[in-house]
Amino acid sequence: MAQHTPTPGALRVTSWHLATYKRMWKMNVLSSLVQPLLYLLGLGVGVGSLVDRNTGSGAVLGTTSYVAFVVPGLLVATAMGLAAGESMWPVMGALKWHRGYHGIAATPLSARDIVFGHATWIAIRCGIAAGAVATVLTLFEQTRSWGLAPSVFVAMLVGVAFAMPIMALSVGAERDGMFPAIQRFVIIPLFLFGGAFYPLSQLPAAVQWIAKIAPLWHGVVVARGFTTGNVDWPGVAGHVSYVALWIVVGLVLATRRLGGKLYP
């Protein structure tokens, strides 16, 4: 009789997230699609028409149009915001409100399975959101590019890079008061000043260094290289390695903190 290989624990946790998502996927996909497209219309098309009139804008942006410059930034920034939100209140809810993590802990699954399952789920969620936006962007000549496909993968990596450290913070949080502060003082400023809408070179040096510490800028640079066709492969390797470092450190911290809480 053939033996069946058991499903990895992390994938079982991912399927738990998926079962919950099935009840609200239409609204989530719609919201993930509408917001970046509104930004694209407002900034990429509205502001872009003004920027493109400046004869020197192409040299600064490194693209033929402002819309082409903004698109990869929107894809990656959308993943950052989505992943951050999914790693705050949902994590606290699974520990304190509906106690889903406690139910998982009552099975043979470990804290590592829970954290890696969450990371896998975040990657899938970011892939769905960024992929939906990329699909729509292929309909327009100015935003159509072969680089949209690898840019979706980059967005997934950046999403997980933000999700894991935030999950580690959420595991140790006693109240959700810190979550609006993270959104207001970390996610939104990075969204605005992380290189998604204009080059970092236009900002003060101190702000540039702060932006470069976070994974967002590194992901935007790589995605923009893909969508514009100006791929610097050694640079891609360096940026992706830095994003991966955030993921690894976040996984370790989240696993240790969750293990101490659920498996004392």
Amino acid, single-letter form, for residue 195? G
Domain boundaries, the chain: 9-49+56-262
Model pLDDT, residue 63: 58
Rounded Cα distance, 207 and 225, in Å: 22
- The tokens describing 244, both together, are 């991966």
Cα 163 to chain centroid distance, Å, stands at 7
Model pLDDT, residue 58: 52
Q: What percent of the chain has pLDDT over 90?
A: 61
Model pLDDT, residue 40: 73
CA atoms within 13 A on the CB side of 17: 25
Q: How confident is the model over 191-215, as pLDDT tens digits?
A: 999 988 888 888 899 999 999 999 9
- The tokens describing 181, both together, are 């502060």
Rounded Cα distance, 69 and 48, in Å: 9
Q: Are 117 and 10 a contacting pair, CB within 8 Å?
A: yes
Residue 229 burial by CB count (10 A; 0-12/13-18/19+): exposed, middle or buried? exposed
Position 120 pLDDT exceeds 60: yes
